[in-house]
Structure 1
Amino acid sequence: MNNKKPITVVKIGGNIIDDSIELKQFLSDFSKIEGHKVLVHGGGKSATKMAKSIDLVPEMIDGRRITDAAMLEVVVMIYAGQINKDIVAQLQANDCNAMGFSGADGNLIQSEKRNHPTINYGFVGDVQKVNTALLETLISSGIVPVFCAITHDKKGQLLNTNADTIASELAIALSAIFEVTLNYCFEKPGVLYDAEDDSSVIKIMNQELYAKLKAEKAIHSGMIPKLDNCFNSLSKGVQKIQIGHHNMLQNTDTIHTSIEL
């Protein structure tokens, strides 16, 4: 018999972060989720905009950002600073007792600098360990953790880490204690057969279909790490994963993509 309490992990990204009206509505929806919850946010578009304003040229490979020292300063400032604190303040306005974190805070998420045989990703971190005990203490105390996409290596170095991966790793860690639902929310209604057609939602995505669509280049860029993380999460104890517009958080009839192994 499963006596685990439910918890909802939500990752928000895409254009919603940059749309103040849409973000306000999302945070209202998120605040109304009953029970324990955790929020993870991206902010890549804001970071890219800031980088370009100071003549830094953003570089992406398969949806993942190359992060040199100058770009790291930008992403820390935007993710852990402006976006994180703005979201926390808005959640407090919704009577949601949020607290903002990077992975370095309380050693909540420890990573190591990515070592790739052919690509120098710079200061990009791959998650090694989640401080589940402290996370559980915070959540059980009524805190709603809000994580940005910054981790650390416990040697004094901050690292840029894919926000989809952070959401996945937190969900996996929490699945030892809670029954976890992981929601990836963005501006689209789900994973699409045709990126230009919002009505072409794939209602159920499994590994076989994913492999086929990836081979056909129908799925590419940032959707690849997102779906990779989804399948990894399901294989490691996460109960349920959905991708779609944030309307699905309060309306279960909203069309979205469900992920299945």
Structure 2
Amino acid sequence: MVMNITILKIGGNIINNPAALHEALDYFAELPEPAVLVHGGGRKASQVISEMGRQPVMIDGRRITDAATLEIVTMVYAGLLNKTVVAKLQARGCNAIGLSGADGNAVLAEKRPVKDIDYGYAGDVRSVNAPLLEQLLRGGLRPVLCPITHDQKGQLLNTNADTIANETARALAAAGFGVSLRYCFELPGVMEDINDPTSLIRELTPDRYADYRSQGIIAGGMIPKLDNAFAAVAAGVREVIIGDLPALRAGSGTRVLAEPDV
């Protein structure tokens, strides 16, 4: 029988909101099937960067990571946030284990080549160690992945957490598991107007996504999230759903489709 796995990704808006984080971790701990948690924390990282007298720089939702910024985000993501999340899951009876990409060679990446923009020490994922994750899951552990990866040459890299969630889902799907990828954030799903709760986009196809993006309806940090979602379903991930906790619990939100349903 095919083993089903849920991958839940939570972002900085959840991490920075104690009530929302409490609910998200309750939801993750209650999932009946084996599960992997991927967390971001960009808002906390930007806060710490600012407190240390530096200016956070973002382009299309992606962080420019110079050497000093890499040190800060490593401390925030792989240290403070990852271990806080793991401790809170342990308090719920959920036997979590926190990992950076370097731990167990979990996520191997390479420094993004400079084209139009120099992203600094940003990492593009080369591979996810699916056998390691399978071993942990079958052993009753729930991996918690942070956005710090490595290049297997001693260099840590900052990698978009949505990308890590997507690549993890794709690697486990390729290994024969039934994978559900769920992006949890502060809205009921992808919205045409974030101020209008009735404007939920219930389904997104590649063509509709291109139209919304060209009109500026979908922009900023939602772009890498959806780019990764479409890459996941195209690679065989069973389903990708984007929404807040009430939406995910209800089975609603925005479903990302490789092609229109017929």
**What is the TM-score when the length of structure 1 is the normalising length?**
0.96
- Count of residues in correspondence between the two structures: 257
State how 1:198-209 maps to structure 2 within 5 Å. 198-209=197-208
State how 1:210-221 maps to structure 2 within 5 Å. 210-221=209-220
Contact 1:30 1:249 (8 Å CA) reproduced: no
Find the partner of 1:83 among 66, 81, 84: 81
Deviation digits for residues 196-236 of structure 1 (CA, Å, limit 9, x no counterpart):
32331100111111000000011111100110101100111
Deviation digits for residues 67-109 of structure 1 (CA, Å, limit 9, x no counterpart):
0011111110110011100100010111111000000001110
Q: Which amino acid aligns with 1:119?
A: I
Find the partner of 2:129 among 118, 128, 131: 131
Q: Which amino acid aligns with 2:206?
A: Q
Is the alpha carbon distance of 1:249 and 1:32 closer, same or farther for their aligned partners in structure 2, counting shifts above 3 Å?
A: farther
Find the partner of 2:3 among 5, 25, 49: 5
Partner of 1:258: 255
Contact 1:151 1:160 (8 Å CA) reproduced: yes
Q: 1:71 and 1:196 mapped to 2: Cα distance?
A: 33
Q: Match of 1:39, SS?
A: strand
Q: Match of 2:7, SS?
A: strand
Partner of 1:61: 59
Q: Which amino acid aligns with 1:259?
A: V
Deviation at 1:117, TM superposition (A): 1.5
RMSD across aligned positions (CA)? 1.0
Work out whether 1:190 is the aligned partner of 2:189. Answer: yes
Q: 2:212 and 2:12 mapped to 1: Cα distance?
A: 21
Find the partner of 1:101 among 77, 99, 102: 99
Contact 2:12 2:44 (8 Å CA) reproduced: no
Q: 2:90 and 2:248 mapped to 1: Cα distance?
A: 19
Deviation at 1:130, TM superposition (A): 1.1
Displacement over 2 Å in runs of 4+: 195-199, 247-252
Q: 1:80 and 1:247 mapped to 2: Cα distance?
A: 28
Q: 1:83 and 1:126 mapped to 2: Cα distance?
A: 22
Structure 2, gaps ≥5 residues long: none
Structure 1, gaps ≥5 residues long: none
Deviation digits for residues 37-81 of structure 1 (CA, Å, limit 9, x no counterpart):
000000000000000001110111111000001111111011001
